Amino acid sequence: MTTSERIQVLRAAERPATAWLNGGGVTREVAGHPAGAGLDGFDWRVSLADVASAGPFSPFPGVDRVITLVEGPGMVLTVDGAEHAVDAPFRPFAFPGEAETDCRLLGGPVVDFNVMTRRGRVGAGVDLFTAPGAVDVPEGDSVLVVCLAGSAAVADVAAVAAPADAAEPADGTTGAADVALDRFDGALLAGPGAYAVRVPHGGVTAVVSFRASR
């Protein structure tokens, strides 16, 4: 495969916004599996949400959720009666989708990054890269890379035959074979194989690994 076949680029500018039924915000889906599945049929779903006002979260029975504050002063989530401050950016918070959950904003609108997985089918790990790193995609798994701050780049190591004397960028800058990502752009890694994720100084990129439950 070529690099473009193994890295599916998902541009933020091409995502439609879906308004919440309660009018409290909008959601933009980054990617989901199976492709085109609705809210009742996905195995996993990743989105970015603009939260404009306080209110209850929609319940998702049988779904595990991980929410990460990306922008704004933060919020307090009351999950089955227990309060949890989600006020530190880029710090994932996990909770069950069927829990009764209410959101209180701490000073204004926020943007959050959401990962949802169908319990018993798929599990997910959410890592935040602030420096260049390596990602290995095992057979049968999927990895989604999403730039949350600054910029980033992804390269398919297996598809790049670099000259022996070619210097690998060590500071997060992009190389000729990299797929460049702007803020909120994503890249779905088709795997299996090794990939390089480059994050320049000051950037933050989410690397979400999905694995089928066994």
User: What are the pLDDT digits (tens) for 171-200?
Assistant: 555 454 789 999 999 999 987 999 999 999
Q: What is the distance between the alpha carbons of residues 156 and 112, in angstroms, rounded to a whole number?
A: 28
Higher pLDDT: 159 or 131? It is 131
Token pair recorded at residue 49: 């949400």
Token pair recorded at residue 152: 């980033």
Cα 113 to Cα 30, 39, 159, 175, 192: the distances in Å are: 10, 17, 30, 28, 25
- Closest by Cα among 37, 57, 192 to 118: 37
- Amino acid 163: pLDDT: 44
Element of type H or E holding 3: helix 3-6
155, burial (CB in 10 Å: exposed 0-12, middle 13-18, buried 19+): buried
Q: Are 179 and 3 in contact, with CB atoms under 8 Å apart?
A: yes
- Amino acid 169: pLDDT: 56
Locus of tokens 């798929």: 122
DSSP secondary structure code for residue 153 in this structure: E
Cβ neighbours for 165, distance < 8 A, ≥ 6 positions apart:
none
Higher pLDDT: 5 or 14? It is 14
User: What are the pLDDT digits (tens) for 88-115?
Assistant: 999 999 999 999 999 999 999 999 999 9
In one-letter notation, the amino acid at residue 76 is V
3-10+123-212 with 13-120: one CATH topology?
Answer: yes
Q: Are 152 and 144 in contact, with CB atoms under 8 Å apart?
A: no
- Amino acid 39: pLDDT: 83
Give the pLDDT mean for 23-37.
Answer: 90
CA of residue 28 relative to chain centroid, distance: 12
CATH code for residues 13-120: 2.60.120.10
Domain ranges of the chain: 3-10+123-212, 13-120
- Amino acid 175: pLDDT: 52
User: What are the pLDDT digits (tens) for 56-80?
Assistant: 998 999 999 999 999 999 999 999 9
- Closest by Cα among 130, 127, 142 to 92: 127
Q: What is the distance between the alpha carbons of residues 194 and 168, in angstroms, rounded to a whole number?
A: 15
Cβ neighbours for 89, distance < 8 A, ≥ 6 positions apart:
68, 69, 70, 71, 74
Residue 45 has pLDDT above 50, yes or no: yes
Token pair recorded at residue 46: 């990743």
Cα 59 to Cα 23, 146, 170, 174, 200: the distances in Å are: 16, 25, 44, 41, 37
* pLDDT-wise least confident of 37-41, 139-143, 175-179: 175-179
Which CATH fold would you assign to the domain 3-10+123-212?
Answer: Jelly Rolls (2.60.120)
